[in-house]
Structure 1
Amino acid sequence: MIEVIVQNAEEAMEAERLGVDRLELVSAIKEGGLTPSYATIKQVLNSVSIPVQIMIRPHSYNFTYRQGDKEIIYEDIRNVLYLGGKGIVFGALNDDHTIDEETLIEVIEISSELDITFHRAFDEISSQIEGYQLLCKYKEQVKRVLTSGGKRTCEEGKNNLIELIKIANQTDGPSILAGSGLTTNNFLNIHKLVHAYEYHFGSGVRKNQSFRNGFDKEAIRLIMNSH
């Protein structure tokens, strides 16, 4: 399963034409990805038929949210549902770098139809094993965890990814969506080592590896043909 980041409807349609399996829709990619505008979400959902996971992140300061932030998060999720979407990308932490289970429960209770990717807040938690075990309790909604194994890139975190994927397979828990730093140069080697079922690509499938540019069609073709 290959997922790529898109920023608007034009990119979403091109990614679908190129054969990718799923999209992650974000705004403000320089900030690490924030919630897209209502109009952008509407355009993208109306322009493609493949699954779209929509980033729900009100700011880039941290992953610890105050009540005002949470109200924005819940409203943004309701907007996604209103527009016909189900997929969201979300994560929240407590001050002690554990998963904010209370906020996660409140998100899940908005709708039983939600399909949640717990995002790379997971790479900042104190124990990924304990964090993953907690997310297993909510696997009906938390379908996958986007992670680079607690390191900056999948290359650096590959040993941790191997361990997480082993646990995911044993528990039938959320899928491990390996992402960060993946390119055509390292993808095959990483895949041979970690054997993830899902991979997440950002700038690694862009021309000159920049989000300012469009997709590198040859890069996507190579990746799609190699998995």
Structure 2
Amino acid sequence: MSKVEVIVLNQEDAKIAEAYGADRLELVSAISEGGLTPSFGAIKSVVNSVNIPVMVMIRPHSYSFVYQKEEWEMMKKDIKAARELGAAGIVFGALTEEKLVDFELLAMVVEEAKGLSITFHRAIDESNPQEIYQSLCGSPYKIDQVLTSGGKPTVMKGLDMLCNLMKESVQSTENPVIMPGSGLDQNNIQFIHQTLQAKEYHFGSGVRIEGDFRQSINGRILQKIKDIIVS
């Protein structure tokens, strides 16, 4: 049975998403910038309002996925806060200037996030997703999920790469789960699920009224999507 993760911005989103079948939430702020670290208050209110896992975005800025050493101290505090406030995990991704995984920073993040689930986010799509994924699989740092659109703007456009990634992911139970995300909606999820048979899918504007993050989550659409991927 496949799972649905839904992007939420606040407590109201979280309650609706849970009520209509979401299995996990990704809490972010500044969605217009691709999602940044939410405030402590937002984390606390969302975590306390639902019973399903809440993943917290750890991303201090939106202008790249390259981070300076001094930014680590900020991220460290955010990870600590996410844990103390009851989050199930974090969502993180970092690359070097050469668009390879920043394993030096990732090592510190994994150490700080011990006991939390970790998703490596769509920073993977800024480079060669297959090479990045293979490097994550071969590293000593435990990543649970990899959120990707297959190196393209949307999952539909990245299906070929995603098929390759799915084949890689099932080679070992230790490999991170591939979680397709970007551009998923009620109209394409049946075809995408038939093609990929992924264990998890990540939804954003596709479960919103009029596909707009300024509007609330549409429970009817979320329920329809859930019915499709569990049938």
- Is residue 130–residue 161 contact of structure 2 (8 Å, CA) maintained in 1? no
Structure 1 length-normalised TM: 0.96
Q: Is the 8 A contact 1:144 1:176 kept in 2?
A: yes
Question: Take 1:40 and 1:112, find their aligned partners in 2: how far apart are those partners?
Answer: 22
Number of equivalenced pairs: 226
* 1:91 equivalent in alignment to 2:82: no
Q: What are the superposed Cα offsets for residues 14-54 of structure 1, whole Å, 9 maximum, x if unpaired?
A: 11111110100000000000000011001111111101111
Q: Is the 8 A contact 1:4 1:201 kept in 2?
A: yes
Within 5 Å, give how 1:127-142 maps onto structure 2.
127-137=128-138, 141-142=142-143
| AA partner of residue 147 (structure 2) | L
TM-score (norm 2): 0.94
Structure 1 Cα separation of the partners of residues 38 and 113 of structure 2: 20
Shift of 1:102: 0.7
Aligned residues of 1:139 and 1:174 also touching (Cα < 8 A): no
Runs of 5+ consecutive residues of structure 2 not aligned to the other structure: none
Q: What's the offset of the Cα at 1:129?
A: 2.1
Aligned-residue identity in percent: 49
Match for 1:158: what amino acid?
Answer: L
Match of 1:144 in 2: 145
C-alpha RMSD over aligned residues? 1.3
2:36 aligns with: 34
Residue number in structure 2 paired with 1:158: 159
| Letter paired with 2:124 | F
Instruction: Please give the alpha-carbon distance, in whole angstroms, between the structure 2 residues aligned to 1:180 and 1:31.
Output: 14
Mapped contact 2:5–2:201 kept (Cα < 8 A)? yes
Tell me if the contact between 1:123 and 1:149 (Cα under 8 Å) persists in the aligned partners: yes
Residue 81 of structure 1 and its aligned partner are, at CA, apart by 1.2
Q: Which residue of structure 2 aligns with residue 21 of structure 1?
A: 23
Where structure 1 has 5 or more consecutive residues not aligned to the other structure, the ranges are none
Of structures 1 and 2, the one with the larger relative CO (CA 8 A, separation 6+) is: 2
